[in-house]
């Protein structure tokens, strides 16, 4: 096992795997460059390829002895038009265009829309956006058989281009048959997180949660304006949130996305749920070895906002410079977190603790680390809930998460400030203190004479019993004892 030094930052990096990065050699290079978690995009590739990718990620995990989270991102119910006689057609600016239920190939005047649930739902004045918003249609009238539109923005339309319906809640399930197959596959492969696409309402999470059977964590992707209207309910029913700015930016005006990003990040942080900012963060690095200044500022702003993780999409999946993209994202995050104003900025959001003992103690960890010179908060947890409570407070020092559960350790790879270690369970207060000291020394968080905060629940092994906080001083000889 190769020695691995803790990351010099608290925000996490999530990288998408694709043709440019799925080789075992590149996955290892990306991990060493700074990746904490990998996203497997179920919209592309087949299950055999994904299985090989997951096995390669687990091999990296074993080689370096570090938990790595795998997020399996489901495709979701993407709406698409049908096909065209010549594979494509041109919709005239200002002209009329019809979406109907006819089976025959389309032309410049019409095309099939193979989604019967949209007919009769659409109303005059509502919008239909095609090909990521490049074509913008406005409904003139709609019936059970056809939707007549005017083309506010025309252009070339081709086979099976995606359709966005920003002004209506579309009555389609959040999971397609393909998603159900992919979800079962991801669970069998031991994925740590499931990304649920195109969530519109809290009820959309129910089927996925049921099919997961108590395994894995559920990340709701916020990419529909309808989801924002019921954001708090969706956050409550999920384990984490992704600000998926791609489709969100299609269905909204561009200037509406930044305030929404801050709103979503803030709401997730209030709830103590991990939140990921995703899409086009270093987009120019798909082809360029260096980002634009605007992209650097975009990543930095997400870090300043206190996001738990920032994500790379095509930059690492299909780009020419995957390792460089991770390296620069790591450098941006480290630089931001070294800013003397960072802690004040990341705590601009008031996250008062709930009226529970566990939340009060998590809040105390923050205030103690601000008052006394503390090197780390050592958290003993089975489920990870105590770690999430501490992370919610954004303490000034790293969090060493000790857990007997590999599942919990991997899940924490997307949690702000967490360095998780899967280790043998503890049975007493004395054992907890001794192990916390050893692990802090072993993993480079402290040395002799340093102070640590220990947070846990007594009796041990009882979920939700966090009731103990203790400040300890290391002598430096604790490493004489060896354990797992």
Catalytic residue among 16, 53, 279, 381: 279
Is residue 39 flagged as an active site residue?
Answer: yes
Catalytic residue among 7, 12, 39, 411: 39
d(CA 45, CA 66): 27
Catalytic residue among 7, 221, 435, 437: 221
Q: Which residues pair with 276 in a beta bridge?
A: 242, 309
Residue 279 sits at φ, ψ, to 5 deg, of 90, 120
Is residue 209 flagged as an active site residue?
Answer: no
Is residue 381 flagged as an active site residue?
Answer: no
Catalytic residue among 80, 101, 138, 262: 80
Is residue 88 flagged as an active site residue?
Answer: no
Catalytic positions? 39, 80, 221, 279
């Amino acid at each position: 096992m190769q020695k691995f030094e803790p990351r010099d930052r608290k925000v996490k990096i999530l990288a998408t795997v694709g043709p440019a990065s799925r080789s075992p050699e590149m996955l290892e290079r990306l991990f060493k460059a700074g990746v904490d978690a990998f996203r497997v995009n179920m919209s592309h590739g087949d299950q055999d390829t994904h299985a090989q990718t997951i096995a390669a990620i687990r091999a990296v995990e074993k080689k370096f002895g570090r938990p790595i989270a795998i997020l399996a991102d489901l495709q979701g119910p993407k709406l698409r038009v049908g096909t065209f006689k010549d594979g494509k057609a041109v919709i005239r600016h200002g002209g009329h265009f019809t979406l109907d239920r006819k089976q025959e190939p389309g032309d410049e005047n019409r095309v099939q829309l193979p989604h019967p649930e949209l007919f009769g739902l659409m109303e005059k004045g509502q919008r239909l956006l095609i090909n990521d918003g490049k074509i913008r249609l406005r409904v003139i009238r709609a019936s059970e058989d056809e939707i007549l539109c005017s083309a506010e923005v025309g252009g070339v339309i081709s086979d099976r281009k995606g359709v966005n319906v920003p002004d209506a809640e579309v009555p389609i399930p959040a999971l397609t048959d393909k998603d159900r197959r992919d979800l079962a596959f991801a669970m069998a492969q031991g994925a740590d997180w499931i990304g649920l696409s195109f969530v519109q309402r809290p009820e959309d999470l129910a089927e996925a949660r049921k099919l997961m059977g108590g395994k894995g964590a559920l990340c709701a992707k916020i990419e529909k304006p309808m989801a924002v209207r019921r954001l708090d309910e969706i956050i409550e029913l999920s384990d984490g949130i992704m600000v998926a700015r791609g489709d969100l930016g299609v269905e909204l005006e561009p200037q509406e996305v930044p305030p929404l990003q801050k709103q979503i990040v803030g709401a997730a942080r209030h709830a103590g749920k991990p939140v990921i900012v995703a899409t086009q963060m270093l987009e120019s690095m798909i082809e360029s070895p260096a980002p634009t200044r605007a992209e650097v500022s975009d990543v930095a702003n997400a870090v300043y906002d206190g996001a738990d993780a920032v994500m790379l999409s095509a930059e690492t999946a299909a780009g020419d410079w995957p390792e460089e993209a991770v390296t620069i994202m790591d450098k941006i995050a480290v630089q931001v977190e070294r800013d003397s104003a960072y802690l004040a900025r990341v705590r601009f959001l008031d996250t008062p603790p709930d009226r529970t003992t566990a939340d009060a103690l998590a809040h105390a960890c923050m205030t103690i680390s601000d008052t006394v010179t503390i090197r780390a908060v050592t958290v003993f947890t089975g489920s990870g809930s105590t770690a999430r409570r501490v992370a919610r407070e954004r303490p000034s020092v790293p969090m060493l998460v000790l857990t007997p559960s590999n599942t919990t350790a991997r899940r924490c790879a997307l949690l702000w400030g967490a360095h998780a270690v899967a280790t043998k369970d503890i049975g007493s207060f004395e054992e907890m203190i001794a192990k916390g000291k050893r692990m802090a020394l072993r993993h480079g968080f402290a040395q002799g004479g340093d102070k640590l905060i220990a947070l846990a629940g007594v009796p041990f092994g009882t979920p939700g019993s966090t009731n103990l906080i203790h400040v300890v001083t290391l002598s430096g000889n604790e490493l004489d004892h060896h354990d797992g």
